[in-house]
Amino acid sequence: MDELNGTHITLRGYVEMEKYRYLYFTVMFLVYVVIVCSNSTIVYLIWTHKNLHEPMYVFIGALLFNCVIYSSTFYPKLLTDFLSDQQVIPYSGCVFQFFMFYSVGGSEFLLLAVMAFDRYVSICKPLRYPAVMRKTTVKCLLAFAWLFPPCQLAVQAVLCVKAKICNLNLEGIFCNNAIYTVHCVRSRTVTIIGVVILLNVAVLPMLFTVFTYAKIFIMAYQSNKTFQRKAAKTCVPHLLVLISFSYLCVYDVIVARVEADLPKAARFVMTLQLFLYHPLLNPIIYGLKMKEISKHLRRLFCSTEV
pTM above 0.85, yes or no: yes
**Does the pLDDT at position 154 exceed 90?**
yes
| pLDDT, tens only, 36-48 | 999 999 999 899 9
Q: Which residues of 192-206 are buried (b: 16+ CB within 10 A; e: fewer)?
A: ebbeebbebbbeebb
d(CA 13, CA 272): 11
Averaged pLDDT, 91-117: 92
Distances (CA, A) of 70 to 62, 104, 108: 12, 6, 9
- Residue 163, pLDDT score: 86
pLDDT at 306 (0 to 100): 45
Task: Yes or no: say if 286 and 238 are a contact pair by the CB < 8 Å rule.
Answer: no
Decide if pLDDT at 231 tops 90. Answer: no
Q: What is the DSSP letter of 237?
A: H
pLDDT band at 2 (very low <50, low <70, confident <90, very high): very low
How far from the centroid of its chain's Cα atoms is residue 229's Cα? Answer: 28
**DSSP-derived secondary structure letter, 184:** S
pLDDT band of residue 301 (cuts 50, 70, 90) is: confident
Amino acid at 167: N
Model pLDDT for residues 188-216, shown as the tens digit of each residue: 888 888 889 989 998 899 899 989 988 88
List the domains of the chain with CATH numbers: 8-297 (1.20.1070.10)
Instruction: Give 22 or 235, the one with higher predicted confidence.
Output: 22
User: Averaged over 13-28, what is the pLDDT?
Assistant: 87
When mean pLDDT is compared across 113-117, 156-160, 229-233, 253-257, the lowest value belongs to: 253-257
